[in-house]
Amino acid sequence: MTNKTIKEVSRPVAKVAVAKPMTAGKRAASGKTRRAVGSTPTRNLHGHVVHELGQRIVGGELRPGELLPREETLAEQMEVSRTALREAMKVLSAKGLVESRPKVGTRVRDTRFWHQLDADVLGWRCALMPTEDFVRKLVEMREVIEPAAAAAAAVRCSVEQLERLDAAYAAMDAAKDLDAWAEADLAFHEAVLNATNNELMASLFSVIETALGTFFVLSARTAKDFKYSLPHHQKVLEAIRRRQPDAARRAMLRMVDDSRANMEKRRRNAKA
């Protein structure tokens, strides 16, 4: 895939390297599928622009305050219609990444305006290898949400929800490789949130799913045995089964703390 560089226009703008859209076959081969991209050609081009520019903004290639090239220039270089480009800009604007002003153009917004829990924004951050600061903030978020969720699940979970927790734990125990483990681990934490029977809390999973999945893989990859946290999951499961909210809260907090320690170990090893 050949990248092209957009020439600067009369006013200072960011230099944007653009890539041609991946074919469906290449996306499948690389494992990079995008549920945000629809089935029609126009929608594919629209999704391509959102993905290309979104990654460059989140990855720091396009910095806050920088102007994007003028519409006709950017549309030509990305080989999309101006209509598709405008639709993509609306999406990026809705995510808080850019803003457009008359007689000024489209500018990258400061990170404080980004919708950090947007599924695409989280996905782009994770795909670009999470920074230490991002991992730390994710751990803090888990410390706030997951212990409370485990306690609520111990009080409210149904028989069917407990069965899903059992199934996820069994899948973790039976996992033969890191990918299988990460998938089962994610299913376990989703089952805990669903077992709260609080639709607001349960909806958080769809928001942070990508970030959690990346976190679980990084954490498990650091350990000598990717199943190292299985005993923590068992303690959470048993506390929920026995309807012991305080024990469930403590067990989940210990699990998150252990993940934090494991990630810190990973960073120390990387710097050594």
Q: What is the mean pLDDT of residues 70-81?
A: 90
The pLDDT value recorded for residue 130 is 60
Tell me what pLDDT residue 88 has: 94
Q: Which two tokens stand for residue 128?
A: 């670009």
At 103 the pLDDT is: 84
- What was the pLDDT predicted at 207? 74
Least confident piece of the model among 76-85, 139-148, 259-268: 259-268
Helix axes 245-271, 199-222, angle to 10 degrees: 40
Q: If you average pLDDT over every residue of the chain, what do you get?
A: 81
Quick one: which of 229, 259, 265, 228 has its CA closest to 140? 259
In the chain, CATH 1.20.120.530 sits at 129-271
Fold of 129-271: Four Helix Bundle (Hemerythrin (Met), subunit A) (1.20.120)
Q: Are 85 and 62 in contact (CB under 8 A)?
A: no
Please, which residues bridge with residue 5 across strands?
Answer: 17
CA–CA dist 198, 31 (Å, integer): 33
Confidence of residue 184 (pLDDT cuts 50, 70, 90): very high
Residue 139, pLDDT > 80, answer: yes
Look at 124-128, 166-170, 187-191, 193-197 and tell me which has the smallest mean pLDDT. 124-128
Is residue 187 classed exposed, middle or buried when 0-12, 13-18 and 19+ CB atoms within 10 A define those classes?
A: middle
CATH fit for domain 3-113, picks 1.10.540.10, 1.10.10.10, 3.10.450.50, 1.10.472.50: 1.10.10.10
- Per-residue pLDDT, averaged over 219-236, amounts to 84
159-179 in b/e burial notation, b at 16+ Cβ within 10 A?
eebbebbeebbebbeebeeee
What is the DSSP track for 69-105? Answer: PPHHHHHHHHT--HHHHHHHHHHHHHTTSEEEETTTE
Ranges of CATH 1.10.10.10 domains, the chain: 3-113
pTM of the model: 0.68
Lowest-confidence pick of 46-50, 81-85, 148-152, 222-226: 222-226
pLDDT at 27 (0 to 100): 30
User: What's the CA gap between 2 and 237, in Å, rounded?
Assistant: 50
CB contact at 8 A, 116 and 210? no
Over residues 18-40, mean pLDDT: 34
pLDDT digits (tens, 9 = 90+) for 77-102: 888 999 999 999 999 999 999 999 98
What's the pLDDT band for 117 if we cut at 50, 70, 90? confident
Is 98 in contact with 121 (CB distance < 8 Å)? no
Return the pLDDT at 272: 59
Cα 31 to Cα 40: distance, rounded to the nearest angstrom: 21
pLDDT of residue 211: 74
Please give the DSSP secondary-structure letter assigned to residue 3: E
